[in-house]
Amino acid sequence: MELQLPILEQALWTALWVFAALLYGLLLNGIIRKIVGRIQGRIGPPIWQPVIDLLKQMFLRTSTMHGIMFYLAPIFRAVGGIGILVFMPIVVGVPILENFGASGDLLLIMYFFFFGQLGMALGAGEGGHPYSPIGISRGLSQMTAFELPFGLAMIAVAAQTGSFSIFGIVEAQQGGWTDWYLFQNPLAGLAAFIALVAMNMYAPFNVVGAPQEVPVGPRTEYNAMFLSLMMSGVSVFTVAKCILFMNLFLGGTTTILGFLVKTFIVYFWTVFVGAVFPRFRVEQSIRFLLKWPALIGIAGVAMVLA
Amino acid sequence: MTETRLDKPHVTIAPDGSLDHAEIECGCFLGEDEMPAPLPFNEAMAKIKNWVRANSLNIIAYGTGCGAIEMRPLGTSRFDMERIGITMAPTSRQSNVLVVSGYLSVKTLKRVIRAYEQMPMPKWTVGLGSCTIDGGMYWDSYNTVKQVDRYLPLDIYIAGCMPRPEALIAGFKELMEKIKRGEANGWNEYLQNLDTYKANQRKVITDWGMPAYNW
């Protein structure tokens, strides 16, 4: 697709959307903490608590230094989230919200998905704490496992549309809710949404940062400014993932209200699953991911090609 | 003991490993004469920072004594400390409140010092129970620290044996008020009087076996 606005103006708008996504991600996190609190019979924190936590981490003095990759890892993490957001239409039909989509951006986005995690692995490995490499080895082995169903679902969607452009994929689903790929190709949708739970590292796939085993996994040594940058990166990344899944399977959106509702639904799918299931061990989660979602994904691709 | 890591900015340890001739470099803390002039903007910014710090306390999940059992109900539905922004953090790098929960044996004191010095500044400490004030029921024990204040600066004491969770919540709220007023400066005093604190710690800890200052 062609850019509707001058490139500089579009860049300014996109920078604004990155900050909006940061705030939206933090508020989503706050709403989740409130809801989980209510489920457990507590009052729960105020919904702006993640914003306060982020600012608090910024106002602490950084006291550790472990080398250059340790510094760069939060930046890599943030770039991974921002990169996905920048090359994806947020609301279709509103020129300022369409960002820098181009043909083949689905492939680019799949690279950005793993860029942040690999940079994070390099940086956390330099932290020197033994829990960091344990978390990293768990996270990376789980990542290779959920990559497969996720990639298969993407292939199914791209094959059905005949295009790797997200804008084209969204346009192909504009007929009504029956045209959404979640209902057009439910097998690919199921595989992708199971992979999303693993991607968000919610239960049952949350052994990476399992609080009762390895304190917080890869980010054990991160503090103060590093941690605040990492929290920002993660919340942008979360929102970007929600937008991607909305665009691929829920038909995108043409209104701001639709954007809020659909991203909320995508995010809360992982929370609902996480509230019900206990935690897998690493080999259990890999065995599960390579068995059921992968088979469902292959069936989804076969359904398109048949 | 004679570990010297030059990439750490804060404390330079004397060649013999002792702290007798140690130097603390600037940037670690601000002494009275190093404080920037109080501009109106700085005042307002300091107030905002203190409000934010007070409303987001992360307690390091480390129970030193029997008082730790009173910390657990705070997370549950009856008392729910998360509603005032207090959460537990599993590592010392990501926490800024240390609760000395109950009696402190000499062996535990060593670990508490390590955890406390690794926390990013500003950081606060809470003494939970009478044992942290005067030894409590362990006043004649051979292996228990009687006054924790001699070894670590404590910002708030919560008296009782054991204090109820309501008392803990009240204590934490008092700590929050103190932070908002900018008076909870135990971390700064610790660094300014590091020689005294370290000398006291070395008096009781016979098997030191860790760096002179843990970062």
- A188-235 pLDDT, tens digit per residue, is 999 999 999 988 888 788 888 776 666 777 888 888 888 899 889 989
What is the per-residue pLDDT for B26?
A: 36
How far apart are alpha carbons A303 and B90 in whole angstroms?
Answer: 47
Share of chain A above pLDDT 70, in %: 97
The neighbour count for residue B45, using CB atoms within 10 Å, is 12
What is the per-residue pLDDT for B3?
A: 33
- Chain B contacts to A (CB-CB under 8 A): 7-10, 49, 52-53, 55-56, 76-77, 80, 82-83, 85, 90-91, 93-94, 96, 118, 120-122, 215
Q: Give the start-end residues of each E strand in chain B.
A: 11-12, 23-24, 57-60, 86-89, 97-101, 104-105, 124-128, 144-145, 156-158
Instruction: Average the pLDDT over each of A161-165, A266-270, B18-22 and give the range with the smallest value.
Output: B18-22
Amino acid at A213: E
Give B24's Cβ-side CA count (13 Å radius): 16
How far apart are alpha carbons A221 and A106 in whole angstroms?
Answer: 34
What is the per-residue pLDDT for A251?
A: 86
Strands B144-145 and B104-105, bridge-based pairing: antiparallel
Secondary structure letter of residue A125 according to DSSP: H
Q: Give the start-end residues of each E strand in A75-231.
A: none
pTM of structure: 0.84
Q: Which phi and psi (to 5°) does residue B59 adopt?
A: -90, 130
How far apart are alpha carbons A126 and A131 in whole angstroms?
Answer: 12
**Chain B nearest CA to A205, separation (Å):** 19
Rounded to 10 degrees, the C-alpha dihedral A47/A48/A53/A55 comes to 170
Whether residue A62 lies within 8 A of chain B, CB to CB, comes out as: yes
How far apart are alpha carbons A248 and A268 in whole angstroms?
Answer: 17
**Chain B nearest CA to A146, separation (Å):** 27
The neighbour count for residue B165, using CB atoms within 10 Å, is 18
Residue from the list A40, A49, A224 with its beta carbon closest to the beta carbon of B77 = A40
Q: pLDDT per residue over A80-124, tens digit each?
A: 889 889 888 888 888 888 888 777 788 888 888 888 888 888 888
Closest CA to B214 of B127, B118, B75: B118
Tell me whether residues B80 and A37 touch, CB distance under 8 A.
yes
Chain A residues within 8 A of B122 when measuring between CB atoms? 60-61
Tell me whether residues A37 and B82 touch, CB distance under 8 A.
yes
How far apart are alpha carbons A201 and A209 in whole angstroms?
Answer: 8
Closest CA to A20 of A243, A265, A173: A243
Q: Is the pLDDT reported for residue A301 higher than 70?
A: yes
**Domain extent listing, chain B:** 11-204
User: What angle is formed at CA A17 by the lines to CA A15 and CA A18, rounded to 5 degrees?
Assistant: 65
Residue from the list B7, B120, B122 with its beta carbon closest to the beta carbon of A65 = B7
What confidence category does residue A63 fall into, taking pLDDT thresholds of 50, 70 and 90? low
Q: For chain B, report the end-to-end CA distance as a whole number of angstroms.
A: 14
Best residue in B82, B87, B123, B185 for a mutation probing chain A (most A CBs within 10 Å): B82
- Which helix (DSSP H) or strand (DSSP E) does residue A265 occupy? helix A256-276
Nearest CA in chain A to B73: A42
Question: pLDDT truncated to tens, each residue of chain B (215 aa)?
Answer: 333 333 333 454 544 444 444 444 434 444 444 455 556 667 777 888 889 999 999 999 888 888 888 888 988 889 999 999 899 888 888 888 999 988 889 999 999 999 998 888 888 999 998 888 888 888 898 889 888 888 999 999 999 888 899 999 999 999 999 998 888 888 888 888 888 888 899 889 888 888 777 76
Q: Is the pLDDT reported for residue A77 higher than 50?
A: yes
The neighbour count for residue B70, using CB atoms within 10 Å, is 23
Secondary structure letter of residue A61 according to DSSP: P
Chain A residues within 8 A of B85 when measuring between CB atoms? 45-46, 49, 52
What is the per-residue pLDDT for B1?
A: 30
Chain B residues within 8 A of A32 when measuring between CB atoms? none
Residue from the list A33, A44, A55 with its beta carbon closest to the beta carbon of B52 = A55
Whether residue A64 lies within 8 A of chain B, CB to CB, comes out as: yes
The pair of three-digit structure tokens given for residue B142, joined into one six-digit string: 């051979």
Q: What is the ipTM of this complex?
A: 0.83
Q: pLDDT per residue over A24-56, tens digit each?
A: 999 999 998 898 888 888 898 999 999 999 999
* Mean of pLDDT over chain A: 87
Closest CA to A234 of A19, A30, A81, A51: A81
CATH class belonging to B11-204: alpha beta
Instruction: Average the pLDDT over each of A163-167, A262-266, B21-25, B32-36 and give the range with the smallest value.
Output: B21-25
Chain A residues within 8 A of B10 when measuring between CB atoms? 63
**Chain B nearest CA to A66, separation (Å):** 9
Q: Which residues pair with B89 in a beta bridge?
A: B60
Tell me whether residues B55 and A52 touch, CB distance under 8 A.
yes
Best residue in B51, B74, B93 for a mutation probing chain A (most A CBs within 10 Å): B93
What is the per-residue pLDDT for A212?
A: 63
How far apart are alpha carbons A29 and A154 in whole angstroms?
Answer: 27
**Chain B nearest CA to A29, separation (Å):** 14
Closest CA to A235 of A36, A50, A44: A50
- Which helix (DSSP H) or strand (DSSP E) does residue A105 occupy? helix A105-125
Strands B124-128 and B156-158, bridge-based pairing: parallel
A with B: how many residue pairs have Cβ under 8 Å apart?
Answer: 74
- Which helix (DSSP H) or strand (DSSP E) does residue A186 occupy? helix A186-199
